[in-house]
Amino acid sequence: MLAGFQDGARLLTKLPFLDLPLRLGERNVVISDAHIQCAEETISVSPMLVRYRFVTPWVPFNQETYPVYHNMDYRSKIKERDRLAVANILMMLRGLGITFPERSYAAVNGRRNVCCRYKDQVLHGILGTLIANVNLPDHTAIGRAVSHGYGWIEHD
């Protein structure tokens, strides 16, 4: 799945996908069918907390920051995940040219830790739920390596 926002969404509808050769991991594939769907979504402050689930692992750490997180006590890890979730949401919004006018809140309930491969590196990923005071469209992604499919969320 490819997703685009603003000018990127318009550009995706104009690309010639059929017969496009791609390399996915170790496999070479050719696109033989493409379904294009456009939707207008609103991103806004929510008066109530909104619950999302991570469809793909959320990767909040790089190889330098994970060892620091790994050595934290349990409560510190929870606070750090929540802090990084807020930062990731704000960075994603900033990348779309959106300023968040309110204080941002977010909490991550990590249910399972997974290893994620990214550019010949193994990174720590988290599957679980995200709660935040922002309305985001399904298939939005936060964290590291979102262009490689990590950190995608959907309403829970």
CA distance 28 to 30: 7
Instruction: State pLDDT tens for residues 1-22.
Output: 666 666 777 777 777 777 778 7
User: Pairing state of beta strands 121-135 and 44-54?
Assistant: antiparallel
Coil/strand/helix, residue 87: helix
Question: Which of these, 25, 4, 26, 70, lies nearest to 17 by C-alpha position?
Answer: 4
For the chain, residues classed under CATH 3.30.70.1900 are 44-155
- Please classify residue 135 by burial: count the beta carbons closer than 10 Å to its beta carbon, then call 0-12 exposed, 13-18 middle and 19+ buried: middle
The list of the chain residues with pLDDT below 50 reads none
pTM over 0.85: no
Q: How is domain 44-155 classified at the architecture level of CATH? A: 2-Layer Sandwich (3.30)
- Give the pLDDT confidence score for residue 1 in this predicted structure: 62
Question: Which of these, 105, 100, 80, lies nearest to 90 by C-alpha position?
Answer: 100
